[in-house]
Structure 1
Amino acid sequence: MGSERSDARVIAGRYRLHAALGRGGMSVVWRATDQLLGREVAVKELAPDDAPPVTRVRSPRDRTLREARALAQLRHPHVSVVHDVVEHDERLYIVLELIDGGSLADRIAAHGPVDAREAARIGVALLGALRAAHEHGVLHRDLKPANVLIESGTGRVVLTDFGVAQVEGATTLTESGTFVGSPEYTAPERMSGSGTGPASDLWSLGVLLCTAVSGASPFHRDSLGGVLHAVVTAPIRPPRQAGPLLPVVRGLLERDPERRLDAAQAERMLRDFLETGRTPEPSRAQRTPRDRLVIALLVAAMAAAGVSAAALLVNGGAGAGDGTPVSPTPSASASVSAGPSRSGSGSSPE
């Protein structure tokens, strides 16, 4: 990660800030030294805010504490470790494990997309991190290339920036009506306001895999309205570069979260690809209550026309054997098909 200007401040009488490693819309991350323990760390500082004083104190403070509490619950090699939270001059700082290396977004910008095997390796690491987070009731909600670090020398993949995470039992930032996250990587159920869950993070991973192999999100558009339309209703066309990863990408980019691949199945498929060079198709999707209702209605209708229920199911009723959903209306579930990627940036600043 490239450094910016230097800083000689010491905060909380302990952490000396050196060079800025990067910045987003709401924070700056510094390379720093823990003078008490004599080790290098990363310190995340909230950026100056022009908002009214109440907003400036409460919202960033809540965001910082949310991230620290989310990270403090997790112990996983692919999740950044939080060492400390300190307050200095009425501003909060998170002291984090220092990862020597840039983000996946930096890597794509500097060297272009990665190949399918590297994308699969990154995907397996992130699935492990997400499974650990979800087991502790933590949803990341902002999985994108800019929030994935690649350690220099080791290639270790680290999921970072839990600033908009949702922690089970905690008040969410969106209760005020404010959307948080990056639209190109946000699941359609969150876009439509129908709720969020672990499956929403898995959708984001599917978008990230597309970006990793092609350099651009399949939902990149020139306007926010265009992005919203692409995520919620437009046909989904994963990039051709996904190649052998298409079964995983298609499974993750299923608009119905009940049909979406879960973390264990996606990880198993990616590991199979890394070991054998082939990616198996997802196992037959479990029918949901909606599927059973559709089947019942179709069976009744077809029975009235003299067609057997057995013939209906064999010939591809709802929840066909190939895993492709068949919906009663065209808008119920959009198809996912391979196609060319669109040009444009695959990540956005925080």
Structure 2
Amino acid sequence: MNTSGTSGRQGRAGGEGHGAPPAARGRLLAGRYRLVGELGRGGMGTVWRARDETLRREVAVKEVSVPFGLPEEDVARLHARLEREARAAGRIEHPGVAEVFDVVRQDGRPWIVMELVRGITLQDVLEADGPLGPERAASVGAEVLSALRAAHGAGVLHRDVKPANVLLALDGRVVLTDFGSSLVEGGEELTDAGEVVGSPEYLAPERALEAEPGPASDLWALGVLLFASVEGRTPFRRETALATLGAAVDDALPAPGRAGPLRPVIEGLLRKHPGDRLCAAEAERLLHRVAGGSRSRGGAMAVVPGARRGGGRAEDGGPAGRRSGRGREASGAQRGLRGAGRKAPVLVALAALVVLLAAAAGWLLGW
């Protein structure tokens, strides 16, 4: 069972938190949050179940640990990303995004205090049970898209939408987690020039070519997630990160043979040019239509999305959705790059960076 976006993969902790001892059960943070038990652990950090002694409620606390000997500059950047996740998620009011309650600093490190969400990731479900049926995949996808639209309306791009970052909560919600790689309007970019964050198999073509990302880039990732949910694999996966990025740019989409009524949505979201993709509103409408097919036939859904709360559903064209001329031109330029000599060195450089980022997934808080 996973909570607040933990991946469910248990492993040895990587390092001792930059010289500081790891947190111990029973420890009190900021005079308020008592660590009760470990929920998930990975190479770069731990998620704890904790008790808020002031409000007398259970919460989740994210702790980050970094490898011994990591340069101070990199440690500072990692901590900044952790705090950025809190700021990004805190801007979004939606039941499909875990609520952030507090960010505290102790031992020179930030700790994120957030809503305790009990459930399992979509990735864990796919690995344990195999591909989903089209209706169930559409139901989950519609809830993810609703959360994305709220994020985009708040000026936040997620940039790492994938099954491991989708939590199927026991209370019926579908929760989008891990905003550590998000881009917040008006915020400082914390990546080096040319650095691409996210998972290679879910990166949109324009991101592989270093164009400015927009909401359509998150929609592409949602399309890959839907494809993987029904087919059991991502559409452009190759043996190397470079080949995967190149396939996303150049190769035709394999026919999603198991998608059934979901196929038009997948194909609409995975059009190469961002301006040609289905808009979020139309994609959400179609997803709800496909998801409704299971209910009309009386089929049981293993994951039942919770009812929407509140009337404020973000529409397209929010702050993060404004396209700059530069981003539009860069996206359109990919057509002219096919077979051109410039593309290979660009993708080679990006692939190297993506491989490093994927290997250090804790940097993006996806333990």
Report the RMSD for the aligned CA atoms in angstroms. Answer: 2.6
Letter in 1 for 2:239: D
8 Å CA contact 2:203–2:245 kept in 1: the answer is no
Cα distance change of structure 1 residues 165 and 258 upon mapping to structure 2, 3 Å threshold: same
- Aligned residue among 176, 179, 182 for 2:196: 179
8 Å CA contact 1:173–1:180 kept in 2: the answer is no
For residues 140-179 of structure 1, what are the structure 2 equivalents within 5 Å? 140-152=158-170, 154-179=171-196
Please state how far the C-alpha of 1:127 moved relative to its aligned partner. Answer: 1.1
Identity %: 49
Structure 1 residue aligned with 2:345: none
Are positions 1:90 and 2:117 aligned together?
Answer: no
Cα distance change of structure 1 residues 151 and 141 upon mapping to structure 2, 3 Å threshold: same
- Aligned residue among 270, 276, 297 for 1:259: 276
Please state how far the C-alpha of 1:329 moved relative to its aligned partner. Answer: 8.3
**Secondary structure of 2:120 counterpart:** coil
2 CA distance for matches of 1:192 and 1:51?
A: 33
**Secondary structure of 1:258 counterpart:** helix
Structure 2 residue aligned with 1:233: 250
Cα distance change of structure 1 residues 131 and 101 upon mapping to structure 2, 3 Å threshold: same
2 CA distance for matches of 1:243 and 1:117?
A: 9
For residues 270-281 of structure 1, what are the structure 2 equivalents within 5 Å? 270-276=287-293
Please give the per-residue CA displacement for 1:267-310, whole angstroms capped at 9, x wherever unaligned: 01112223357xxxxxxxxxxxxxxxxxxxxxxxxxxxxxxxxx
Please give the per-residue CA displacement for 1:300-344, whole angstroms capped at 9, x wherever unaligned: xxxxxxxxxxxxxxxxxxxxxxxxxxx998959xxxxxxxxxxxx
Gaps of 5+ in 2: 3-7, 12-23, 295-333, 340-357
Please give the per-residue CA displacement for 1:39-77, whole angstroms capped at 9, x wherever unaligned: 111111112234544224410121012111111111101
Structure 2 residue aligned with 1:286: none
8 Å CA contact 1:206–1:252 kept in 2: the answer is yes
- Aligned residue among 219, 236, 261 for 2:236: 219
Letter in 2 for 1:106: D
Letter in 2 for 1:84: D
8 Å CA contact 2:59–2:116 kept in 1: the answer is yes
8 Å CA contact 1:199–1:257 kept in 2: the answer is yes
8 Å CA contact 1:238–1:249 kept in 2: the answer is no
1 CA distance for matches of 2:45 and 2:255?
A: 32
1 CA distance for matches of 2:335 and 2:86?
A: 45
8 Å CA contact 1:45–1:93 kept in 2: the answer is yes
Please state how far the C-alpha of 1:11 moved relative to its aligned partner. Answer: 1.9
Structure 1 residue aligned with 2:353: none
2 CA distance for matches of 1:271 and 1:124?
A: 6
Cα distance change of structure 1 residues 143 and 23 upon mapping to structure 2, 3 Å threshold: farther
**Secondary structure of 1:98 counterpart:** coil
Please give the per-residue CA displacement for 1:153-194, whole angstroms capped at 9, x wherever unaligned: x33100011001000111223344322111111111001111
Please give the per-residue CA displacement for 1:210-246, whole angstroms capped at 9, x wherever unaligned: 1112222112222112211221112211431212101
Cα distance change of structure 1 residues 169 and 102 upon mapping to structure 2, 3 Å threshold: same
8 Å CA contact 1:164–1:173 kept in 2: the answer is no
Aligned length: 287
Structure 2 residue aligned with 1:192: 209
Compute the TM-score of the two structures, normalised by the length of structure 1: 0.76
Q: Single out whichever of 92-101 and 4-13 deviates more from structure 2.
A: 4-13
Structure 2 residue aligned with 1:68: 86
Letter in 1 for 2:257: R
8 Å CA contact 2:135–2:292 kept in 1: the answer is no
Are positions 1:210 and 2:259 aligned together?
Answer: no
Letter in 2 for 1:169: G
Structure 2 residue aligned with 1:80: 98
Letter in 1 for 2:97: V
Compute the TM-score of the two structures, normalised by the length of structure 2: 0.72
Cα distance change of structure 1 residues 258 and 51 upon mapping to structure 2, 3 Å threshold: farther
Structure 1 residue aligned with 2:308: none
Structure 2 residue aligned with 1:49: 67
8 Å CA contact 2:168–2:175 kept in 1: the answer is yes
Letter in 2 for 1:187: A
Please give the per-residue CA displacement for 1:71-99, whole angstroms capped at 9, x wherever unaligned: 11111011111011011111101111111
**Secondary structure of 1:45 counterpart:** strand
Are positions 1:242 and 2:259 aligned together?
Answer: yes
1 CA distance for matches of 2:76 and 2:251?
A: 38
Question: Higher Cα Rg: structure 1 or 2?
Answer: 1
- Larger RCO: 1 or 2 (CA < 8 Å, sep 6+): 2
8 Å CA contact 1:150–1:156 kept in 2: the answer is yes
For residues 128-147 of structure 1, what are the structure 2 equivalents within 5 Å? 128-147=146-165
Letter in 2 for 1:33: R
Letter in 2 for 1:133: A
Structure 1 residue aligned with 2:14: none
